[in-house]
Chain A
Amino acid sequence: AQRVTQPEKLLSVFKGAPVELKCNYSYSGSPELFWYVQYSRQRLQLLLRHISRESIKGFTADLNKGETSFHLKKPFAQEEDSAMYYCALKTGANNLFFGTGTRLTVIP
C-alpha cells in the first residue's frame, strides 16, 4: 500500500522568505513523485515531477529516498505562490495517489 503525508494543512510565510512544503511518502516500489498546484479559481495543474529535475516558477523538489521525502522549496516566496499544493505518488497501476494538500499563503 502507498501513503503520501503532507503534515501541514496550512502554511503562511512572508513575501521574500523561503518556503518549504513537506511531503513524505511510503511505497514499496520505485517511487515517482509529483507536485500539483491549484491557484484560486483555477484548475489543478502539474507543477513539477522529480524525474524532470527542473525548476518551475522558482520551485524545486528533490527526491530523498533515504528520508522518503519530496519536499517542495522556493528561496523567495512571491504573493502569486499562494495556492493549494498537493504532493502525489505514481502507483503501480500507473495513476496518482494524492496527499491531503497544504494551503500556502504568502503575506505581503
Chain B
Amino acid sequence: EAGVAQSPRYKIIEKRQSVAFWCNPISGHATLYWYQQILGQGPKLLIQFQNNGVVDDSQLPKDRFSAERLKGVDSTLKIQPAKLEDSAVYLCASSQIQQGRLNEQFFGPGTRLTVL
C-alpha cells in the first residue's frame, strides 16, 4: 500500500512570496489533515478535511493560509504571502473516515519550508 505522498520535499522562498504544497493521501482515506511543525515543537493541526468538506480549520491563519480538497482526494495548502515565522515542516496525514473513534493517522514525509 502506497503511503501519503507530499511534494515538494523542500522549498526555499523569500518573505512575501507565495508557496503551495501538495498532498495525496492513502487511497480510500476520507480524512485528510495538514499540520505545521515548527522546529522544536510538536505538530500543530492547521486544517482537517472529511472528503471535500472542512471539519476543523480553527488554527488556520486564514489571512494568509488557504487549503482545498476539491475532489475529496488530493489537497493543496497555500501560503500567500509568506512570513519568516512560517518556516516549518508542513505535514500531511490521512486516515479512514472518523466516526466517533479517532482512527490512526498516517503521515507523509513532510515539506520543509524555509522563508528568508
**Docked CA distance A44–B102 (Å):** 17
**Docked CA distance A4–B41 (Å):** 12
| Contact pattern, B 21-42, Cβ under 8 Å of A = 1, otherwise 0 | 0000000000001000000111
CB distance from A10 to the nearest CB of B (A): 11
Q: Contacts of B107 on A, CB cut-off 8 Å?
A: 43-45
Q: From B40, B102, B105, give the contact of A32 (CB < 8 A).
A: B102
CB distance from B46 to the nearest CB of A (A): 10
Q: Contacts of A4 on B, CB cut-off 8 Å?
A: 42
Segment with Cβ contacts to B, from A12-20, A57-65, A75-83, A87-95: A87-95
Interface contact B48-A95, CB-CB below 8 Å: yes
Q: Contacts of A46 on B, CB cut-off 8 Å?
A: 104-105
CB distance from B97 to the nearest CB of A (A): 11
**Docked CA distance A43–B45 (Å):** 17
Point out which of A9, A90, A97 has the most chain B C-beta atoms below 10 A from its C-beta: A97
CB distance from B64 to the nearest CB of A (A): 21
Q: From A43, A90, A99, A100, give the contact of B102 (CB < 8 A).
A: A90
Q: From B33, B55, B56, B109, give the contact of A43 (CB < 8 A).
A: B109
**Docked CA distance A99–B44 (Å):** 9
CB distance from A68 to the nearest CB of B (A): 18
**Docked CA distance A94–B108 (Å):** 20
Interface contact B98-A99, CB-CB below 8 Å: no
Interface contact B45-A94, CB-CB below 8 Å: no
CB distance from B63 to the nearest CB of A (A): 21
Q: From B40, B45, B55, give the contact of A96 (CB < 8 A).
A: B45
Q: Contacts of B93 on A, CB cut-off 8 Å?
A: 44
Going nearest first, the 10 A-B pairs with the smallest beta carbon separation are A98-B42, A44-B107, A93-B56, A90-B102, A43-B107, A46-B104, A98-B43, A94-B98, A100-B42, A95-B48
